[in-house]
Amino acid sequence: MKKVFSLIAIALLAFALTACGGAKNDTADKAGKDGNKKLVVGATAVPHAEVLEAAKPLLKEKGIDLEIQVFQDYILPNVALRDKELDANYFQTPGYLDLQMKENKDFDFVSVGGIHKEPIGIYSKKYKSLKDLPKGAKIIMSDSLSDHGRILPIFEKEGLIKLKEGVGVNARVEDIIENPKNLDFSTLIEAKLLASSFDSGEGDAVVINTNYALEGGIDIGKYGIAFEGDDVVPANLVVVRSEDKNRKEIKTLVEVLQSKEIQDFIQDKYKGAVVSVSE
C-alpha cells in the first residue's frame, strides 16, 4: 500500500512540475507575441551607458527592449560585436573605428550615426595653462594612436610644438618637427588608466578622454587646462556589423538617441563636458 501511495505522489509531483513548466512557456510565448524586439548594445560606462539608460523607456514605447552591456575598455566592445554577442556598440569615434578595422580584417563594421561629442582634455594639478608648462614637462597620453591626431594639434595651436605639414588627424609624436620646450610625450598608458595616473600625480599634464575623466570623478572645470575645439571634435558613433545596418531596430535606436529628448538629456546632464550632435 505504501508503494502505491509513493507512486501516486510521484505522479502528482510530475504533473505539478509539468503544469508549472507549461505556464512559464505560455508567459514566454505571450512576451514574444507582444512584438518587442531585444537589442543588446555594448558601451563604456560614462556617458554612453548613462545615455542608453535614458533612452530605454523611449525605445520600449517603440517595441524595443534594450539590454546594455558595460565595458571598461575600448577593445572588447568591438570583439563582442564581431562575435555577435552584441547587436551594436556605442563608444568609438570615426578615427578609432577606421584604425580598428585596418588592424582587424575580420571587423566588418559600419557607423549608423553619431550621437554626441567628447572634447579630449588636458589636465594638470600643477599648471593653469599649456603655456605655463616648463621645459622638459612630461605629458602623459594614451597608447591609442587614433587619439594622437586629436591631441597633438592642441599643443600646436598653442605654439608649443610644430607638426609636419599636412599630417592632420593622422599626426603622431614622430611628426613633431619643432619642440622648443623639449616636452616629453609619454604614450605607454591605456586610455582607461589615464584618470588614475592623474590622481596619482604622474606627469606635469595628463591627456584624458572625457568619458574616463567623468568616470574617474575628475573636476573638469578645475583641472582642465586645454581642450579640443568644438569644430574638430569627432562624434561618438553607434556601430554595427555591416550586415545589420538596415535593420529596423537599429534605425529606431539611432533615431531615439538623436531625438530632442536624448540630446537635451546630454546637454543638461553633462553641462558641456559632453556635447550633443545637435549643437
* 137 lies in the same domain as 223: yes
> Could you tell me if 263 and 179 lie in one domain?
no
pLDDT of 27 higher than 90: no
Cell of 250: 537599429
Residues 130, 107 within the same domain: no
User: Are both 61 and 45 inside the same structural domain?
Assistant: yes
Q: Does residue 25 carry a pLDDT above 60? A: no
Residues 130 and 202 in one domain: yes
Same domain, 102 and 238: yes
Q: How many domains does the chain have?
A: 2
pLDDT tens per residue across span 122-137:
999 999 999 999 999 9
Is residue 13's pLDDT more than 90? no
Is there a domain that residue 14 lies in? no
Question: Among 20-29, 45-54, 134-143, 208-217, where is mean pLDDT lowest?
Answer: 20-29
| Residues 220 and 145 placed together within one structural domain of the fold | yes
**Mean pLDDT value across residues 218-230:** 93
- Whichever domain contains 102, its CATH number is 3.40.190.10
Distance CA 77, CA 44 (A): 8
- The answer to whether residues 49 and 111 belong to one domain is yes
Q: How far apart are the first and last CA of the chain?
A: 82
| Domain contains 86 | yes
| Of 153, 182, 154, 184, the residue nearest 170 (C-alpha) | 153
Distance in angstroms (rounded) separating the CA atoms of residues 59 and 66: 7
Beta strands in the chain (DSSP E): 37-44, 64-71, 88-92, 109-117, 121-123, 138-142, 162-163, 176-178, 184-189, 205-208, 224-227, 235-241, 275-276
> What domain range includes position 73?
35-118+234-276
58 pLDDT tier (thresholds 50, 70, 90): very high
Output the average pLDDT for the chain: 89
Residue 81 lies in a domain: yes
Asked if residue 214 and residue 129 are part of one domain, the reply reads yes
Residue 189 sits in the same domain as residue 218: yes
